């Protein structure tokens, strides 16, 4: 029984279908055939990214999916060479990371993956069901869930050999564990007070050239950022980002004024005379939250948790879907040994997956002076080195490519510390700080 039909739940169901005779996905939303933003994923209206490692895993689980997306007209290209990146106010030199980026919106990507999962004969979707709690049996083992149909009001108990919670950052597992006497998992938090505000446009002029998107990344020098991809239907999506309460406005005039302050001036130039296709909408993200299930002294058998329900990252780094894919991949490898993994062992294994991404995102957030949190010597040194690396990447496409292989979770962070790379980074001139 998979709780939640988002990307994490879909990938989990795909993996479980290899080892279980029947897999059910339970969600409060309608799912099958839906290709638009839905209630359970309010942030789907905003820019999303599937990192390179996530693309690779999806292709392994659903062979031909990448080409299927491209055939559907979704733009694709090299993440370091066909996306225009600005860091610390300066454009990085395009490189070749040999990593394909398919620029699908979240609803598009989810719809294609969901259609593939729906083709599996032993997977079914239980749509428009609220999940009211866990059912336990002998020894405290989780044996199912209590649900209620939103359409008919009928309550039922669903039996399961394994329940996997992939309901996202609003997961109720901590409360359920407390009710069962296990206590709640400890939490790590990094408060960022972030907001996305998004609007779609039909442009009169093409600012992209061969690029898929124009992405000025927020930095301590200019904490306002944006993602400006072109979409399959020929329109453009502009998601403005603002941290520490400096939120992009939702009124059209304020939205335009905010866009004018970005480090990539071509964005404002492109939208100032463009046709707006909708009104600006906003999504607020107060804090990155990591639930430390791997540190719990006891945990009920028959229950696992993954995806944003374990760790919800600052979305500007695009890690969420890829980390969920890596966790599903970990579960697949553990199931290949023939039995359902012990929950605490599973949490220890996925903690290794989370560690690398948390270090990248939380460390980068702590580079903003207003973000609260302990700045260890390692964090300060890491942020100082990354500033030098981004400066070197302004003129060195090899550094750009290496950075995006790490940011894409394909190569480990240590790849940026190899002697040859350090010589490129530390030997590069420091450009004057952008205004």
For position 326, what pLDDT does the model report? 98
Q: Find the helix or strand (DSSP H, E) in which 49 lies.
A: none
* Tokens representing residue 10 in the block: 């879909």
Give this prediction's pTM. Answer: 0.94
Contacts of 238 (CB under 8 A, 6+ apart): 198, 199, 200, 201, 226, 227, 228, 259, 267, 271
Domains of the chain: 2-50+104-186+292-362 (3.50.50.60), 191-286 (3.30.70)
For position 104, what pLDDT does the model report? 87
Name the phi and psi angles at 305, rounded to 5: -135, 140
CA 424 to chain centre: 30
Angstrom distance (rounded) from CA 68 to CA 237: 22
Q: How many CB atoms lie within 10 A of CB 123?
A: 19
* 74-98 tens-digit pLDDT: 989 999 999 999 999 999 999 999 8
Phi-psi region of 171 (alpha: psi -120 to 50; beta: other; left: phi over 0): beta
Give counts: helices (H), strands (E), the chain: 12, 19
The whole-number average pLDDT for the span 50-59 is 94
* 178-230 tens-digit pLDDT: 999 999 999 999 999 999 999 999 999 999 999 999 999 998 888 999 999 99
User: What separation in angstroms does the CA of 429 have from each of 218, 392, 399?
Assistant: 22, 7, 14
The whole-number average pLDDT for the span 14-32 is 96
CA 139 to chain centre: 36
> Which DSSP symbol is given to 230?
B
* pLDDT band per the 50, 70, 90 thresholds, residue 433: low
* 222-254 tens-digit pLDDT: 899 999 999 999 999 999 999 999 999 999 999
First-last CA distance in the chain:
53
């Amino acid at each position: 029984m998979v709780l939640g039909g988002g990307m994490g739940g879909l990938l989990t169901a795909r993996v479980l279908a290899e080892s279980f005779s029947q897999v059910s996905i339970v969600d409060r939303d309608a799912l099958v055939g839906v290709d638009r933003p839905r209630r359970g994923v309010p942030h789907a209206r905003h820019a999303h990214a599937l990192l390179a490692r996530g693309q690779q895993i999806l292709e392994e689980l659903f062979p031909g999916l990448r080409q299927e997306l491209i055939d559907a007209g979704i733009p694709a290209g090299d993440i370091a060479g066909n996306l225009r990146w600005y860091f610390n106010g300066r454009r990085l030199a395009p490189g070749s990371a040999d990593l394909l980026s398919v620029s699908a919106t979240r609803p598009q990507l989810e719809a294609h993956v969901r259609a593939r999962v729906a083709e599996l004969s032993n997977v079914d979707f239980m749509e428009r069901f609220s999940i009211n709690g866990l059912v336990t049996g002998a020894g405290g083992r989780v044996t199912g869930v209590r649900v209620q149909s939103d359409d008919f009001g009928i309550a039922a108990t669903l039996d399961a050999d394994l329940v996997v919670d992939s309901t996202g950052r609003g997961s109720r597992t901590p409360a359920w564990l407390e009710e069962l006497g296990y206590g709640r998992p400890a939490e790590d938090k990094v408060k960022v007070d972030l907001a996305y505000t998004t609007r779609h446009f039909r442009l009169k002029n093409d600012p992209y050239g061969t690029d898929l998107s124009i992405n000025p990344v927020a930095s301590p020098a200019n904490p306002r950022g944006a993602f400006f991809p072109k979409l399959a239907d020929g329109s453009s999506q502009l998601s403005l980002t603002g941290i520490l309460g400096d939120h992009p406005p939702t009124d059209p005039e304020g939205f335009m004024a905010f866009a004018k302050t970005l480090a990539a001036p071509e964005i404002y130039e492109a939208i100032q005379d463009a046709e707006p296709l909708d009104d600006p909408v906003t999504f607020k993200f107060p804090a990155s939250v990591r639930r430390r299930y791997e540190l719990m002294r006891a945990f009920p058998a028959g229950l696992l948790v993954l995806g944003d329900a374990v760790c919800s990252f600052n979305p500007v780094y695009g890690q969420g879907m890829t980390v969920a894919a890596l966790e599903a991949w970990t579960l697949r490898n553990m199931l290949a040994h023939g039995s359902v993994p012990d929950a605490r062992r599973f949490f220890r294994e996925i903690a290794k997956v989370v560690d690398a991404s948390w270090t990248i995102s939380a460390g980068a957030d702590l580079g903003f002076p207003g973000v609260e949190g302990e700045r260890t010597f390692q964090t300060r040194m890491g942020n100082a080195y990354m500033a030098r690396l981004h400066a070197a990447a302004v003129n060195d496409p090899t550094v750009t490519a290496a950075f995006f292989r790490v940011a894409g979770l394909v190569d480990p962070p240590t790849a940026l510390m190899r002697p040859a790379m350090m010589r490129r980074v530390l030997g590069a001139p420091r450009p004057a700080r952008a205004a």
